[in-house]
Amino acid sequence: MTTVGIIGAGNIGSALAQGFADRGYDVVIANSRDPETLGDLVSSVGERARAATAQEAAEAGDIVVVTVPLKAIDDIPVAPLAGKTVLDTNNYYFERDGHIAALDDKKTTTSQMLQEHLPESVVVKAFNHIPAADILTGGAPAGTDDRRALATSSDSDEAVALVTRIYDEFGFDTVNVGPLSESWRVERDQPAYVVRQNRGELEQNLARAER
């Protein structure tokens, strides 16, 4: 049985915890406080979930989701994530994170920043451009007409294949943006960001992105 570590228990992290548990994964979730503060969430998710520290979630996860404010990525544990695939949901909000010159100057992407922090991990963009509530309600079976699509991006073909499988389990088609250097196309203020779109529409919106 695959265990998913989730570092971050906000809206996205909580929705993913429920979604993974509903699909038979074991979930170990952490926030920036003590595990005891996650009692209500764990009870709601069910018996497949348990609360932990970020270190413990990183150690326990066969795959790990990082879903924290961008300003907190330097606090993500590095050593226990070595050799693991890390799903990155981060987005840059300067109002929350403070201005980051490399992002303001379009010299990097949020996912590249996480990859730099986790040099021995494989980072893949996932679930960053969908409202949290839609994660559990917006999916549909494969082959459904006008099925919603989500984008992913990674320097690893294997990581893209993993997210493609996970998206399908959650009820979404996948469009591969390409390497992490192209993940800006699905970030904040771009046409593909937090709108409902099928595969063709998502491909068009990614092509329309301007940096």
Question: What's the Rg (C-alpha) of the chain?
Answer: 16
pLDDT tier, 92 (very low <50, low <70, confident <90, very high otherwise): very high
**How many whole angstroms separate alpha carbon 17 and alpha carbon 7?**
10
Statement: residue 48 has pLDDT above 90 = yes
pLDDT of residue 199: 98
Per the CB < 8 A criterion, the answer to whether 158 and 149 are in contact is no
**How many whole angstroms separate alpha carbon 150 and alpha carbon 127?**
7
What percent of the chain stands above pLDDT 90?
A: 100
**How many whole angstroms separate alpha carbon 72 and alpha carbon 117?**
11
- Prediction pTM value: 0.96
Q: Dump pLDDT digits (tens) for 175-211.
A: 999 999 999 999 999 999 999 999 999 999 999 999 9
